[in-house]
Amino acid sequence: MMTNKQGQPPFENENGIHTAFDENMTYGEYLQLDQVLGAQKRLSGHHDEMLFIIIHQVSELWMKLILHEIQSSIAAIEADDLSTAQKCLSRVTKTQSQIIQAWDVLSTLTPSEYIEFRPFLGQASGFQSYQYRMIEFALGYKTPHVLKIYQKDADLKEELLKSYAAKSLYDVSIHCLQRNGLTIDETILCRDVEDTYEYNESVKEAWKSVYLNNEKYWELYELAEKLVDIEDSFQQWRFRHMKTVERIIGFKKGTGGSSGVGYLKKVIDQQFFPELWMIRTEL
């Protein structure tokens, strides 16, 4: 038992610590830990399935926070409150770093260990993560065919359709450029936000002006860098995902039916904010 210099346990000197909770809420009750910690149901009983479940559950919790912050940043940008948006987006990037590091923990799972419980997953796959899809939608990558995966749950499908039909983080950022006097093509300002965003020359020139006149457009300049941070981290996450999958299952098909590593390699090259990367060559 740890004691202080007087030989007493530190707890005994803390007279103000609450110990009676018959009528008060506890830490565990506030966090609903009975539900959170009771949600790890191994189907195989294999020791390493616990690791697999926890990594994915923790990642989904972090994704919930990412969505919360992105949605708040979208509302802030629409209200021209760029300082609040930047704070939210900085938190997104910090959260992304936690998800990236989670792959290091999962990579301790070896191929021989994974094959012991992989059959119990059936067709369940991270490919079906609806929060991941909502993050893609919020960043401007809209793929209607993935919505078919969620036909089973009508409420979830409705939530996804709302996310799909909403303006993305980049859409509202581009409109913010226009409100600050930068020229944006009308076709972009009036574009169908249910389509995946594609490169536009006027948007590139607007961002280029922001970077070349960063003192004049300081808040937009800071916003641009926050967007680059998010995409950079997202691509790092995708790369670590791909390498972890390759390390554990090689080039087998994914449980959800995708080509596995082959599919993950393709999405690494997808860009959300193409103009912000293009101008780096031109500046």
Residues in binding site? 52-56, 114, 118, 241, 255
Three-state helix/strand/coil letters over the chain: CCCCCCCCCHHHHCCCCCCCCCCCCCHHHHCCHHHHCCCCCCCCCCCCHHHHHHHHHHHHHHHHHHHHHHHHHHHHHHCCCHHHHHHHHHHHHHHHHHHHHHHHHHCCCCHHHHHHHHHHHCCCCHHHCHHHHHHHHHCCCCCHHHHHHHCCCHHHHHHHHHHHHCCCHHHHHHHHHHHCCCCCCHHHHCCCCCCCCCCCHHHHHHHHHHHHCCCCCHHHHHHHHHHHHHHHHHHHHHHHHHHHHHHHHCCCCCCCCCCCHHHHHHHCCCCCCHHHHHHHHHC
Contact indicator for 78, 174 with CB cutoff of 8 Å: no
Contact indicator for 247, 109 with CB cutoff of 8 Å: no
Length of the chain as a residue count: 283
Cα–Cα dist 169/272, whole Å? 10
Binding annotation for heme: 241
213 phi and psi, to 5 degrees? Answer: -130, 50
